[in-house]
Amino acid sequence: MQRGIKVLLGIAGGWIPQSILINLTGQHFLFPFYHTVSNTPLPHVNQVYRVRSFASFTRDLDFLTGHFQPVGLEELRAFRKGAGKPSKPCMFLTFDDGLSGIYDIVAPELLKRGIPAAFFINTDFIDNQDLFFRYKASLILDRLEHNNYPRAVLENFQRRYHLMRAGRINVRELVLGVTYRRRAELDEMAKLVDLDFTAFLKVKKPYLSSTQISELARSGFYIGAHSRDHPLFSDLAQDEQFFQYRDSLTLVQQEFGLTYGLFSFPFTDEGVPPSFFTALSAEGTPPMDATFGTAGLKEDPVDFHFQRIPMEVKKIPASRILKGEYTYYLLKGLLGRNKITRE
């Protein structure tokens, strides 16, 4: 619902110059994020995220860099320390999930343009050792679509999972409804469509390798942690949250020789209690500079935590996405509701 409203506001407010929206909101520091870029279909991603084509991505970059100065970690640290409004609007660009398109497509374009960025890695998936459970769901649905949802397979799903009907919608809802806690069920579902996740990882190599990550770090890009295996944090007990955070951040810092700490919450930070952030701030181990959510253009009470704007919204260009975000921020501000509250 909220995303749809932002899209409509982006259309309605398309005539308003971006510079005016920036000044009206006072939001001069932007945090856009993506997952990957590809000109060919990605069966493991397409059912869960909208993948930007290279042409769409470069048009996004043209717009973003036309209105925001790309900055790195030093500027982010200064902003966190309360340096106030930057001298010009700026952005800190990030990418989640550590997909191989980062190395093949994204990084070369960013290097050519001189744009810094942070790439967040799920440590269990480095070197294609395992696969995000939502990507497994996407592969299962892609296989079903490719084979035009065979009746016999749908009936197998119906019997196995006690579905009301052996229909496409029923099976699709079943597969996409699998949660992190029940992720092992996807391995069983894969057998029903003759799908081998291990073979997919070995042949397609959807994730970055350790060697590629090291090269990206040497090229000046920032490497951050994105948890071990991409759970929804609000579904975890607090000790599990700390384990996912500490273990993944420690690994990327030690494995790639990093002196800084960056962490982005998988899915969203919604529902993560204030006590979690208080503990992060107090303990200082592993070293941490900033954490990131996905709530769009919003202010956050935690001074080291920044809300990012999802940029993979259907085929909508960056200009419309940002104008929708800024206009929505203005409207919510009238009600005093453009700040994150944590219970």
Sign of CA dihedral 13, 15, 16, 17: positive
Q: Are 131 and 108 in contact (CB under 8 A)?
A: no
Q: Is 48 exposed, middle or buried (0-12, 13-18, 19+ CB in 10 A)?
A: middle
Domain identity same for 304 and 192: no
- Residues 131-173 have pLDDT tens digits of 999 999 999 999 999 999 999 999 999 999 999 999 999 999 9
d(CA 184, CA 189): 9
Domain identity same for 310 and 232: yes
Give the tokens for residue 156. 């197998």
Residue 338 lies in a domain: no
Domain identity same for 168 and 312: no
- Residues 115-135 have pLDDT tens digits of 999 999 999 999 999 999 999
Q: What is the pLDDT of residue 175?
A: 98
Give the tokens for residue 100. 């191989």
Q: What is the mean pLDDT of residues 71-92?
A: 86
Does residue 197 register a pLDDT over 70? yes
Residue 242 lies in a domain: yes
Domain identity same for 119 and 238: yes
Calculate the average pLDDT of the chain.
93
Domain identity same for 43 and 177: no
User: Percentage of residues in the chain with pLDDT exceeding 90?
Assistant: 84
The lowest-confidence range among 2-6, 31-35, 142-146, 285-289 is 2-6
Residue scoring higher pLDDT (6 or 313): 313
- The boundaries of the domain holding residue 175 are 133-202
Domain identity same for 117 and 196: no
Q: What is the pLDDT of residue 85?
A: 67
Give the tokens for residue 43. 């069966």
Domain identity same for 213 and 149: no
d(CA 9, CA 320): 8
Can you give the CATH number for the domain in which 109 is found? Answer: 3.20.20.370
Residue 230 lies in a domain: yes
Domain identity same for 95 and 242: yes
Domain identity same for 212 and 244: yes
- What amino acid occupies position 82? G
Domain identity same for 188 and 222: no
Residue 16 lies in a domain: no
Q: Which residue has the tokens 């309605």?
A: 12
- What confidence category does residue 333 fall into, taking pLDDT thresholds of 50, 70 and 90? confident
Structure pTM?
A: 0.95
Closest CA to 180 of 270, 247, 240, 113: 240
Domain identity same for 263 and 306: yes
CA separation, residue 323 to residues 20, 35, 105, 327 (Å): 10, 21, 27, 6
Residue 150 lies in a domain: yes
Phi, psi of 171 (to 5 degrees): -70, -40
Q: What total number of domains does the chain contain?
A: 2
Residue 98 lies in a domain: yes
Using DSSP bridges, classify how beta strands 69-70 and 32-34 pair: parallel, antiparallel or unpaired: unpaired
Residue 329 lies in a domain: no
Q: What is the pLDDT of residue 11?
A: 67
Q: What is the mean pLDDT of residues 209-224?
A: 98
Residue 296 lies in a domain: yes
Sign of CA dihedral 64, 66, 68, 69: positive
Domain identity same for 219 and 307: yes
- What confidence category does residue 8 fall into, taking pLDDT thresholds of 50, 70 and 90? confident
Does residue 7 register a pLDDT over 70? no
